[in-house]
């Protein structure tokens, strides 16, 4: 059996864990509201899919930029003294 001191310690631990859970729930709900407002995503799964899509688009745009910049340097590098 547990004594009163141990019982109070456990009760305090439960209260701490409940407060931590409440903070995490609030952060989760705030994140969902922000995702919905800024990106029109109603779930984390939708946000993850959008994140993947945007990363793929960014990678493609970076490749296109590098290609175009290489062409620019080839055409104008001597005139503009670009290495």
Tell me the C-alpha distance between 30 and 23, whole Å.
10
Q: How many CB atoms lie within 10 A of CB 47?
A: 19
- The answer to whether 47 and 35 are in contact (CB under 8 A) is yes
Q: What is the pTM of this model?
A: 0.66
What is residue 82's predicted lDDT score, i.e. its pLDDT? 79
Determine phi and psi for 52, rounding to 5 degrees.
-60, -45
* pLDDT tens digit at each of 83 positions of the chain: 789 999 999 999 999 999 999 999 999 999 999 999 999 999 999 999 999 999 999 999 999 999 999 999 999 988 888 77
């Amino acid at each position: 059996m547990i004594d009163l001191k141990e019982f109070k310690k456990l009760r305090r631990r439960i209260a701490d864990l409940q407060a931590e859970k409440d903070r995490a729930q609030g952060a989760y709900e705030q994140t969902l509201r922000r995702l919905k407002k800024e990106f029109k995503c109603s779930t984390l799964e939708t946000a993850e899919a959008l994140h993947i899509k945007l990363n793929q688009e960014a990678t493609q745009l970076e490749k296109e930029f590098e290609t175009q910049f290489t062409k620019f340097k080839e055409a104008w590098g001597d005139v503009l003294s670009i290495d």
